[in-house]
């Protein structure tokens, strides 16, 4: 299978340090046509952008993840002392790079003991930034549906609700408002009944595929380090739900991703030049 576009990846993760270059070079041969590499704070933003410069099929999203507010080794805490406003201001120059096509990964997370007010203020500030820059967003929502949806209703961004875990009813209005929904390995797991209901309820034009790699590997490779090639397994599962050939699922969702992010049509980001060394 080919024409895989992974709308949410973390190849800057330490889990890829040993073989990152070899893996990235192998992805196109595995059918991967595009990857959105998502930063989580100012520490990994340079690496995300560097990957987009090095590999023609990669684009970058830059933002501050809510978990960065509670991680002692994240620059949000270690460098900026929790002053996310100063960190976000320092990250503004990244958005001048044409390889940066979205604001992300941003959102809310109530699974971990993170400061609620700071999360809300940080998420809202980044939604405002996306509106100012006219960029799509990549949104993280973990056990925080009510607050996340309230801000999405208010700001009406375009982009993707990453790893969608809400109800079919909420999915319908989110899509009508302009958001796409991201599905990855979790949609293949036994008991993923909610994902099946959502995939039946929303227009297929609103569905994009993702990995969240190195996490969330799909069946039958669950438990292993994930990478973009494994989206083929997700396409098989969604094809079963939609009564569609897996390659058709990949073609459809790739077209959706290209429309949402305005990328991966021409290959190389405009910032790249012949001086950049590609594998």
Q: How far apart are CA 137 and CA 163, in angstroms?
A: 13
Q: Which two tokens stand for residue 26?
A: 């192998």
Burial of 207 from C-beta contacts in 10 A (0-12 / 13-18 / 19+):
buried
Share of the chain above pLDDT 90, in %: 94
279 — pLDDT class (breaks 50, 70, 90): very low
- Nearest CA to 36 out of 269, 261, 279, 248 is that of 261
pTM exceeds 0.85, yes or no: yes
Q: How far apart are CA 167 and CA 145, in angstroms?
A: 10
- Nearest CA to 149 out of 171, 168, 117 is that of 171
**What is the per-residue pLDDT across 166-195, written as a single tens digit (0 to 9) for each?**
999 999 999 999 999 999 999 999 999 999
Every domain of the chain and the residues it spans: 4-100+181-261
92 — pLDDT class (breaks 50, 70, 90): very high
Higher-confidence position of 266 and 38: 38
- Nearest CA to 63 out of 159, 204, 153, 199 is that of 159
Tell me the fold of 4-100+181-261: TIM Barrel (3.20.20)
Residues 27-51: b if buried by 16+ CB within 10 A, e if exposed: bbebbbbbbbbbbbbbbbbebbbeb
Q: Report DSSP state, residue 74.
A: S
């Amino acid at each position: 299978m080919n024409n895989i576009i992974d709308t949410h990846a973390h190849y800057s993760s330490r889990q890829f340090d040993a073989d990152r270059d070899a893996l990235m070079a192998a992805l196109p041969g595995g059918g991967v046509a595009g990857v959105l590499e998502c930063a989580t704070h100012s520490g990994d933003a340079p690496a995300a952008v560097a990957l987009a410069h090095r590999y023609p099929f990669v684009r970058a999203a830059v933002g501050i993840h809510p978990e960065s507010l509670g991680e002692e080794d994240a620059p949000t805490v270690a460098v900026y002392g929790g002053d996310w406003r100063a960190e976000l201001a320092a990250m503004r120059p990244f958005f001048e790079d044409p390889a940066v096509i979205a604001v992300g990964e941003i959102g809310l997370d109530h699974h971990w003991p993170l400061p609620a007010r700071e999360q809300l203020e940080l998420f809202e500030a980044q939604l405002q930034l996306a509106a100012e820059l006219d960029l799509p967003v990549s949104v993280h929502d973990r056990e925080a549906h009510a607050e996340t949806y309230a801000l999405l209703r208010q700001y009406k961004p375009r982009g993707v609700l990453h790893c969608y875990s809400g109800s079919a009813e909420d999915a319908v209005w989110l899509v009508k408002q302009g958001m796409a929904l991201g599905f990855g390995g979790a949609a293949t797991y036994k008991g993923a009944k909610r994902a099946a209901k959502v995939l039946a309820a929303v227009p297929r034009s609103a569905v994009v595929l993702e990995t969240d790699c190195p996490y969330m590997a799909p069946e039958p490779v669950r438990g292993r380090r994930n990478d973009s090639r494994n989206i083929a397994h997700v396409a098989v599962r969604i094809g079963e739900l939609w009564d569609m050939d897996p390659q058709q699922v990949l073609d459809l969702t790739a077209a959706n991703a290209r429309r949402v992010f305005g990328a991966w049509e021409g290959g190389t980001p405009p910032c790249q030049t012949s001086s950049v060394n590609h594998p």
